[in-house]
């Protein structure tokens, strides 16, 4: 099952996505055509959102970094997210702003000190993030600063959450990103340095993960810079297709 978060008649509601992905069914039975939906990011208020840097072997090699012993982790605020088919502002001085397609893990039950062998059992589902980076603002790859990774609407998220049961192996999913139809990323979650189960075990060793918490698991190699007017599509096998439009910042 896929669950979408939308704005329906001024209300924030969750809906079940039809098998053909053409319509959404609300809890009261109302049906909304997917093409007419106002998509919201599928994140719960108050959720903790972790993000990983340099978590793909090919990406680290592309940037000249050696394999890490510990993950590079930072947190993301709620205003950074925008839904499927939403718009992301490109600052006037951001000539090196590029998309980063990432598999997102959604925690489904409280988890504390979960072993790696049990970790996938606490996953509720998966979604997609496009965690835009702006290289002009990057101070240090090991400490992604707020101006890069916590800008308003600079992390498209969605389009929906796919139940974990539908993803047999999160470490065997193709990842692809296009800008205006031109492919700039083509990779696989198999390239993760720290896999999904390892990350859950790592975080839950020192803090309790709660339902709705999310882990953005990093991005493979491939860079393409965006301009106002571009349509950016991030696709992950078996999860979905996240569409975003870049606009000039006011």
Same domain, 226 and 164: yes
pLDDT digits (tens, 9 = 90+) for 179-212: 999 999 999 999 999 999 999 999 999 999 999 9
Report in angstroms the alpha-carbon separations of 44 from 37, 47, 99, 122, 153: 19, 6, 23, 17, 16
**DSSP string across 117-139:** HHHGGGEEEEEEEE--EEGGG--
Q: What confidence score (pLDDT) does residue 141 get?
A: 60
Asked if pLDDT for residue 146 goes beyond 80, the answer is: no
Can you give 159-181 as a three-state secondary structure string?
EEEEEHHHCCCCCCCEEEEEECC
What domain count does the chain have?
2
Same domain, 12 and 108: no
Same domain, 73 and 197: yes
Q: Is the dihedral of CA 50, 51, 53, 58 positive or negative?
A: positive
**What does the chain come to in residues?**
250
Same domain, 234 and 220: yes
Same domain, 7 and 131: no
Residue 206 CB burial class (10 angstroms; 0-12, 13-18, ≥19): exposed
Same domain, 26 and 84: no
Same domain, 90 and 23: no
In this structure, what CATH number is given to the domain that contains residue 35? 2.30.30
Same domain, 188 and 239: yes
The percent of residues above 70 in pLDDT, for the chain, comes to 94
Q: What confidence score (pLDDT) does residue 79 get?
A: 94
Decide if 163 contacts 213 (C-beta within 8 A): no
Same domain, 12 and 51: no
pLDDT digits (tens, 9 = 90+) for 20-51: 999 999 999 999 999 999 999 999 989 999 99
Same domain, 49 and 31: no
pLDDT digits (tens, 9 = 90+) for 65-111: 566 778 989 999 999 999 999 999 999 999 999 999 999 999 999 99
Decide if 235 contacts 242 (C-beta within 8 A): yes
In this structure, what CATH number is given to the domain that contains residue 58? 3.90.850.10
Tokens representing 226 are 């965006």
Q: What confidence score (pLDDT) does residue 54 get?
A: 85
Same domain, 205 and 191: yes
Domain that holds residue 19: 1-40
Q: What mean pLDDT, rounded, does the chain reach?
A: 93
Asked if pLDDT for residue 135 goes beyond 80, the answer is: yes
Q: What confidence score (pLDDT) does residue 69 get?
A: 75
Asked if pLDDT for residue 144 goes beyond 90, the answer is: no
Q: In this predicted structure, which of 50-54, 165-169, 229-233, 243-247 has the lowest mean pLDDT?
A: 50-54
CA distance 78 to 202: 23
Same domain, 100 and 163: yes
């Amino acid at each position: 099952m896929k669950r979408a978060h939308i704005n329906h008649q001024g209300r924030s509601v969750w809906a079940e996505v039809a098998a053909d992905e053409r319509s959404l069914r609300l809890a009261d039975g109302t049906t909304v055509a997917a093409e007419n939906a106002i998509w919201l990011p599928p994140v719960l208020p108050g959720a903790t959102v972790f993000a990983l840097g340099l978590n793909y072997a090919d990406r680290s090699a592309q940037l000249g970094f050696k394999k890490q012993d510990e993950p590079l982790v930072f947190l993301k605020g709620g205003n950074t997210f925008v839904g499927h088919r939403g718009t992301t502002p490109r600052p006037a001085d951001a000539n090196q702003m590029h998309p980063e397609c990432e598999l997102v893990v959604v925690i489904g039950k409280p988890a504390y000190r979960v072993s790696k062998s049990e970790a996938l059992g606490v996953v509720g589902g998966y979604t997609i993030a496009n965690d835009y980076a702006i290289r002009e603002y990057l101070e240090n790859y090991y400490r992604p600063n707020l101006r890069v990774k916590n800008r308003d609407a600079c992390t498209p998220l969605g389009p929906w959450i796919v139940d974990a049961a539908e993803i047999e192996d999160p470490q065997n999913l193709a990842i692809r990103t296009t800008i205006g139809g031109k492919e700039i990323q083509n990779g696989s979650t198999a390239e993760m340095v720290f896999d999904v189960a390892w990350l859950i075990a790592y975080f839950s060793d020192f803090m309790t993960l709660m339902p709705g918490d999310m882990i953005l698991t990093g991005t493979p190699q491939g860079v393409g810079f965006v301009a106002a007017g571009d349509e950016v599509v991030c696709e992950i096998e078996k999860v979905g297709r996240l569409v975003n439009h870049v606009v000039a910042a006011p």
